[in-house]
C-alpha cells in the first residue's frame, strides 16, 4: 500500500483526480471534507492537502509520493525525487517590471525592491547572478505591489500573462518553467517502489494516448508510397486493401501537436475520407 498526496482544492486538484480515474483507479466515496481515502481496486491511499504542504509530507515519508507543481517543490527546498512530469499545471516564474520602465538586463535589478511569494527561488537566482536586491516576501496579490509603490519589480507565476498586462507590468526574465509532477520519498521499500512503478506505467500510458490520435484514411494505390512517407506512425502504418479495386485503407498513429500540419499534407498527397479518433491508452 502506498500513500499519495494530492492537492485538496485548487488548480491541480481536479486534474489529479481525473488522472487517477483515467488510470482505472476508483476511490471509496469521498466526502468534500475528507482528508484521506483509499482506492477500491489499487493499493493506494490518498491524502488531500494544501499544495504547499505536499513536499514536506513526502520528504518526511508521511506520504510516499505526491502530485505537486515543480515550483512549489523548488521553493520548499524539500529533498524529494521528481519521478514523472505530468503535463498539466504548466506555468513559468518570471520577473516583471512596470511597462514604462526601461530594461536592459538583469543588472538593472541591482538595489531594487522585488516583491514575491517565492523568496527562496528568487534569492537563489539573484545570488547566482551576483545581484543584490531587497526581497519583500508577501503571500498574495504580488502583481499590485509596483502600482502602490511597495516594490519596483515582482517575481511571480505567469501562465498567459494577462494578469501582468492588466496591472501595467511587462515580463522581462523567465527564471523557471514548471508543471505538475510526481515526486517520491527518497527511501522506499521494494514493495512500495513496485506499486509506484505500476502507477507510473499507467499514467504514462494515459498521457501518451492523450498526446496522440488514431487516424484512418483511404488512398489510391499509386499514391500509397507518398502518403506513407508523411505518416510517422509507431512503427509503420497498417495498409489494407479496400473493396474498391486500386484503393487501400491506411491506419496510423500521429502526434496531436503535428495533427493539422500532417492532415494538410496527407490531403495534398491524395488521401481521402480521413477519420480521426482519440486513443484511450497507449503502451509503447
CB 136 within 8 A of CB 114: yes
| Sole binder of ligand ATP in the list 2, 4, 12, 65 (CB under 6 A) | 12
DSSP state of 221: G
Give which of 147, 145, 198 is closest to 168, Cα–Cα.
147
Residue from 14, 30, 141, 159 touching ligand ATP (CB under 6 A): that is 159
Distance CA(214)–CA(105), nearest Å, equals 46
Contact with ligand ATP (CB under 6 A) among 5, 20, 157, 262: 157
CA distance 34 to 86: 25
Residue ranges in 62-91 that form contacts with ligand ATP under rule CB under 6 A? 69, 71-72, 89, 91
**Under the criterion CB under 5 A, does residue 52 sit at the interface with Zn ion?**
yes
Nearer to ligand ATP, 72 or 230 (CB): 72
Binds 71: which of ligand ATP, Zn ion, none (CB < 5-8 Å by kind) = ligand ATP
Sign of the CA dihedral running 9, 11, 13, 17: positive
Taking the complex as a whole, how short is the minimal distance between the CB of residue 191 and ligand ATP, in angstroms?
Answer: 30
Least distance to ligand ATP, CB of residue 72, Å:
5
10 Å CB burial of residue 44 (0-12, 13-18, 19+) is buried
Could you say which of 45, 51, 53, 143 contacts Zn ion (CB under 5 A)?
A: 51
Q: Smaller CB distance to ligand ATP: residue 108 or 179? A: 179
Query: Which of ligand ATP, Zn ion, none does residue 91 bind (CB under 5 to 8 Å by kind)?
Result: ligand ATP
- Which positions from 187 to 226 touch ligand ATP by CB under 6 A, shown as an x/- string? ----------------------------------------
Pairing verdict, β 212-220 and 247-255: antiparallel
Give the ranges where the chain is alpha helix by DSSP (H): 13-22, 54-60, 70-76, 119-129, 162-166, 190-210, 224-230, 259-268
In SS3 terms, 162-208 reads as: HHHHHCCEEEEEEEEEECEEEEECCCCCHHHHHHHHHHHHHHHHHHH
Nearest to 62 by CA among 96, 36, 33: 36
Triad 202, 59, 28: Cα angle to 5°: 45
Instruction: Identify which of residues 12 and 25 has a Cβ nearer to Zn ion in the complex.
Output: 12
Distance between CA atoms of 89 and 182, rounded to whole angstroms? 12
Q: Shortest gap between Cβ of 89 and ligand ATP (angstroms)?
A: 4
Nearer to Zn ion, 52 or 108 (CB): 52
In the complex, least distance from residue 34 CB atom to Zn ion, rounded to whole angstroms: 19
Q: Residue 94 corresponds to which cell in the numbers above?
A: 518570471
- Binding flag, residue 137, ligand ATP (CB under 6 A): no
169 or 231: whose CB is closer to ligand ATP? 169
Measured from the CB atom, is 71 or 205 closer to Zn ion?
71
What residues line the site for ligand ATP (CB under 6 A)? 7, 10-12, 50-52, 69, 71-72, 89, 91, 157, 159, 178
What residues line the site for Zn ion (CB under 5 A)? 51-52
Amino acid at each position: 500500500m502506498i500513500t499519495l498526496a494530492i492537492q485538496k482544492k485548487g488548480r491541480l486538484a481536479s486534474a489529479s483526480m481525473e488522472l487517477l480515474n483515467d488510470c482505472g483507479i476508483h476511490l471509496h466515496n469521498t466526502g468534500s471534507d475528507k482528508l484521506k481515502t483509499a482506492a477500491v481496486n489499487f493499493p493506494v491511499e490518498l491524502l488531500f492537502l494544501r499544495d504547499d504542504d505536499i513536499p514536506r509530507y513526502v520528504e518526511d515519508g508521511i506520504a510516499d509520493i505526491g502530485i505537486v507543481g515543480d515550483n512549489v517543490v523548488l521553493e520548499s527546498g524539500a529533498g524529494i525525487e521528481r519521478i514523472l512530469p505530468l503535463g498539466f499545471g504548466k506555468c513559468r516564474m518570471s520577473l516583471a517590471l512596470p511597462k514604462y520602465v526601461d530594461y536592459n538586463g538583469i543588472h538593472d535589478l541591482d538595489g531594487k525592491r522585488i516583491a514575491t511569494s517565492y523568496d527562496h527561488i528568487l534569492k537563489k537566482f539573484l545570488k547566482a547572478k551576483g545581484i543584490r536586491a531587497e526581497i519583500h516576501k508577501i503571500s498574495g496579490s504580488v502583481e499590485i505591489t509596483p502600482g502602490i509603490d511597495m516594490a519596483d519589480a515582482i517575481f511571480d507565476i505567469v501562465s498567459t500573462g494577462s494578469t501582468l498586462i492588466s496591472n501595467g507590468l511587462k515580463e522581462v526574465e523567465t527564471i523557471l518553467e514548471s508543471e505538475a509532477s510526481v515526486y517520491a520519498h527518497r527511501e522506499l521499500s521494494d514493495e512500495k517502489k513496485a506499486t509506484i512503478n505500476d502507477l507510473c506505467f499507467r499514467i504514462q500510458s494515459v498521457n501518451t494516448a492523450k498526446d496522440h490520435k488514431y487516424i484512418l484514411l483511404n488512398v489510391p494505390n499509386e499514391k500509397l508510397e507518398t502518403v506513407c512517407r508523411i505518416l510517422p506512425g509507431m512503427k509503420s502504418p497498417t495498409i489494407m486493401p479496400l473493396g474498391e479495386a486500386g484503393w487501400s485503407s491506411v491506419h496510423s498513429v500521429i502526434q496531436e501537436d503535428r495533427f493539422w500540419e500532417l492532415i494538410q499534407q496527407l490531403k495534398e498527397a491524395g488521401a481521402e475520407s480521413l477519420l480521426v479518433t482519440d486513443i484511450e491508452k497507449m503502451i509503447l
